[in-house]
Structure 1
Amino acid sequence: MTRQTQHGGRFRAALALVSTLGALAGAALTGAAPASGAVEKERQPAATRIAPGVEYRSFDIPASRGTARAHVLDVDLRDPRTRVGLLYPGKVAARSPVSALADGAGAVGGINGDFFNITETQHPGVEATGAPVGPMIANGRALKAAVPDGQRFGPAMPPGVTTRAVLGVGTDRRARLGDLALDGEVRTRGSRLPLGGLNQYALPVGSVGAFTSDWGAVSRVRATCGTDTSRGAPCSTDTHEVTVRHGRVVASADTPGTGPIAPGSTVLVGREAGAQELRKLSEGDRVGVRHRLVAADSRVPFRFALGGYPVLRGGAPLPGLDTTASAVRTAAGISDGGRRLVLLSLDGSPEFRTGLTIAEVARTLRELGASDGFSLDGGGSSTLVSATSTLVARAPGADAVTVRNNPSGGVERPVPNGIGVFSGK
């Protein structure tokens, strides 16, 4: 028996348990009898081989609010022809549908990623950036750091979890959960300032943040709005920015600007105390900017990473997971010591739009064999017209991916990033 056959057998055996265990889980949450209509083992559709080491399947999950339909990509990272990486539009502050991101990158499958700055109703006249909440690493290169916890979009995180939480794959080809913190500074002739942000839609109060050509052309004003504990707090009235090119200040302004940033240039945006420090700089002054993302566990460097929040660790759901709010969800599970990645997205069509609670998502990932689980962006309610949850996969022999999970409202929502599955065949 080949390793691939053994792997597929374990996955199918785990799926055989999902309907029964899902029904029992729903009953435990509601106090009701187990839900009826569970898919019998022999009625479950066979997995479709998308590419070497990559299988797709869908199945139903009886849950506390009704039946949910799951769409799953099972990725065997032991296969040297298979890898996963970051999907994104080429800039941090930009969005595109998952199908377009996957086709543009040559991926055979993928799902949407992190929660993001989708609206700015509390700051009239301020442009929503579309930038994600958490850190981003693509091909080993740090693209952005995490916004303050109070500035995030998305449902409440479990106790003790921060916006620095990531799911990624290291240079050892193993998937894992972790935390990525920004380590950086701004060096001038008279001082060294800690760097408070990197290509973020929100900066800590009193800090200085760096914006590079990876940011895009979107206005940087949003970075100075809100506070560390309140996303809707007013924008700061004490701001300043300077543009550094090849190690020297070449421009400054009291209001954060807009437009693309040239390669080789860094725009430093300060608010409150940070703005006061930047005002001390004059054109021609030498300035050095250093930044990197540091993993809290100091393990193998991440080759790819994106934000969200953990729901399962070591086979156990995190304490405090929500058991009441059901929605169309997207999530990822890790098993086999990081050698297997399960990408899950729920169906948003009307008959399945009640979805799962976060607690049910964690339980489903565990039933699929995952020891660690991570929640990604998804639909906020059963009435949402256009939900974020999207899973795409390329049919064998096809030139492009297709959307497999019927997004709510039948329309893909543009997103800032996602997880792509790639095959070297």
Structure 2
Amino acid sequence: MTHRQSRFGAGRSVLTFLAALGTLAGAALVGAAPAGAAPGWTRFATGVQYRQFDIYATAGVAHAHVLRVDLGDPRVRVELLYPGAVAARATVSRLATAQGALAGVNGDFFNITETQHPGVEATGASVGPAIAQGRELKAAVPDGQRFGPALPPGTSTREVFGVGTDRRARLDDLALDGSVRTPEGQLPLGGLNQYALPVGSVGAFTSDWGGVSRVRATCGTDTNRAAPCSTDTYEVTVRGGQVVATADTPGSGPIGVGTTVLVGREAGAQQLRKLAVGAAVTVRHELVAASSAVPYRFALGGYPVLEEGRSLPGLDDTVSAVRTAVGVADDGRRLYLLALDGAPAYRGGLTIAEVADTMRTLGSVDAFSLDGGGSTTMAARTPGTASVAALNHPSGGAERPVPNGIGVFSAS
């Protein structure tokens, strides 16, 4: 039994929610469906089709934009959209254009503001793990440090949606396994390019982080994001297997390729203070999957709402909002990317429980919630156009810069 199967109890009833096949069948299409598109879908490119429709939900009428992606076609793939650094943001349209994607949606929740810590810079970095083209960019912050709605019972910030080197999509859990070997002994590694480190830990920052200040990593606690920043911190810079610099407080600025900056707080800081310039240090880190032995080519964070065709127990069914989600079908060979419209007429959106029901109705067996609200964006280069543009109306009136997203690529 996997960690996912154990989440379910005796089962839960299906919500009374009109997002069923009758609603989908009556959806209005954008233009006529060209040859090669399934009934009711508009073909954007090989293996990529689009549809939009209304959903009659708790908060009123919501309007859905959906991309259906065929990963079984070798000409189609999905990748992580991101600005080239963990602590950076850009709009989905800009990210998709820069990476040559046909389409994309926004991704993980992120460190959007720091109102509780005056003078501390919000990093813009995402909450959960991230992998781009097989490169492990970052690990997950502690559960109490996340931004976004409450996690469903039994889930954590380590949850990911990803696609393996076998080209199949799946939901999983990626935990950081790492260490810092020093002349004093071996220390556990508590973080990798994270905007928040566990209390008492040591975290590693690499060139993938970017140039944003690392101070935020020492603020809050494992259970309280708003708790004060630590006053007991230390930073060590390692290059070529040796300590080349130390500092009493976390710094900022780009980190060179081949350089690792270690940031410690509390007990972690006390351990780093033992390291003098010239000391030999080896840093090791990897993301370990809980469910799959297949390496991930791409992964990003969020949280599951549907697994093995069943909604997770305890999903919120009271708070409605504009949402983004991704669904997995056909044993990981097909994806459904969902972005709700944020126009005033549709801004009521869906509850998380309704998102799960919608993804199941579309045909998903597993589904994963991504950041919503002002972040929700679906952008594409539609047939006959040369540029990528938003298909939905972002609820803030314009696309919000985000740290990452899911990019859809087609060779035709």
Q: TM-score range by the shorter chain?
A: over 0.9
Following superposition, the deviation at residue 44 of structure 1 comes to 3.5
User: Bigger CA drift: 145-154 or 41-50?
Assistant: 41-50
Could you say what secondary structure the match of 1:409 adopts?
A: coil
Could you say what secondary structure the match of 1:83 adopts?
A: strand
Q: Which runs of 4+ in 1 moved over 6 A?
A: none
Amino acid at match of 1:274: G
Following superposition, the deviation at residue 399 of structure 1 comes to 2.3
Write out per-residue CA displacement over residues 272-322 of structure 1, whole angstroms, 9 at most, x where no aligned residue. Answer: 000000000011111000111010124211110000000000000000000
Write out per-residue CA displacement over residues 241-290 of structure 1, whole angstroms, 9 at most, x where no aligned residue. Answer: 00001111110000000111111110000000000000000111110001
Q: Say whether 1:61 aligns with 2:48.
A: no
Q: Say whether 1:396 aligns with 2:390.
A: no
Write out per-residue CA displacement over residues 214-249 of structure 1, whole angstroms, 9 at most, x where no aligned residue. Answer: 000000000000000000001000000000011111
Amino acid at match of 2:306: L
The 5-angstrom pairing of residues 271-282 of structure 1 reads: 271-282=265-276
Query: Relative to 1, partners in 2 of residues 1:256 and 1:43: Cα closer, same or farther, differing over 3 Å?
Result: closer
Could you say what secondary structure the match of 1:410 adopts?
A: coil
C-alpha distance in structure 2 between counterparts of 1:409 and 1:257, whole Å: 33
Amino acid at match of 2:352: I
Aligned residue number for residue 348 of structure 1: 342
Aligned residue number for residue 358 of structure 1: 352
The 5-angstrom pairing of residues 151-162 of structure 1 reads: 151-162=145-156
Amino acid at match of 1:286: A
C-alpha distance in structure 1 between counterparts of 2:25 and 2:326, whole Å: 23
Aligned residue number for residue 187 of structure 2: 193
Following superposition, the deviation at residue 42 of structure 1 comes to 5.3
C-alpha distance in structure 2 between counterparts of 1:347 and 1:395, whole Å: 17
Aligned residue number for residue 322 of structure 2: 328
Following superposition, the deviation at residue 424 of structure 1 comes to 1.6
Q: 1:116 aligns with which of 110, 123, 134?
A: 110
The 5-angstrom pairing of residues 123-162 of structure 1 reads: 123-162=117-156
C-alpha distance in structure 1 between counterparts of 2:69 and 2:125, whole Å: 27
C-alpha distance in structure 2 between counterparts of 1:43 and 1:273, whole Å: 58
Kept after mapping to 2: 8 A contact 1:88/1:417: yes
After TM superposition, the score normalised by the length of structure 1 is 0.89
C-alpha distance in structure 1 between counterparts of 2:187 and 2:26, whole Å: 63
Kept after mapping to 2: 8 A contact 1:56/1:393: no
Could you say what secondary structure the match of 1:392 adopts?
A: strand
Aligned residue number for residue 176 of structure 1: 170
The 5-angstrom pairing of residues 28-43 of structure 1 reads: 28=16, 39=23, 41=25
After TM superposition, the score normalised by the length of structure 2 is 0.92
User: In angstroms, what is the RMSD of aligned CA positions?
Assistant: 1.6
Following superposition, the deviation at residue 412 of structure 1 comes to 0.4
Aligned residue number for residue 10 of structure 1: none
C-alpha distance in structure 1 between counterparts of 2:211 and 2:43, whole Å: 40
Amino acid at match of 1:329: R
Aligned residues: 389
Query: Relative to 1, partners in 2 of residues 1:43 and 1:352: Cα closer, same or farther, differing over 3 Å?
Result: closer
What is the identity percentage for the equivalent residue pairs of Structure 1 and Structure 2? 71
Amino acid at match of 1:415: V
Write out per-residue CA displacement over residues 19-78 of structure 1, whole angstroms, 9 at most, x where no aligned residue. Answer: xxxxxx77x36xxxx79xx75835532422111000011111111110100000100001
Following superposition, the deviation at residue 190 of structure 1 comes to 2.1
Aligned residue number for residue 72 of structure 2: 78
C-alpha distance in structure 2 between counterparts of 1:42 and 1:134, whole Å: 37
Could you say what secondary structure the match of 1:365 adopts?
A: helix
Q: 1:203 aligns with which of 184, 197, 200?
A: 197
Kept after mapping to 1: 8 A contact 2:27/2:54: no
Kept after mapping to 1: 8 A contact 2:146/2:157: yes
List alignment gaps of at least 5 residues for structure 1.
1-24, 380-386
Could you say what secondary structure the match of 1:367 adopts?
A: helix
Aligned residue number for residue 297 of structure 2: 303
C-alpha distance in structure 2 between counterparts of 1:362 and 1:299, whole Å: 27
Q: Say whether 1:95 aligns with 2:66.
A: no
Aligned residue number for residue 28 of structure 2: 44
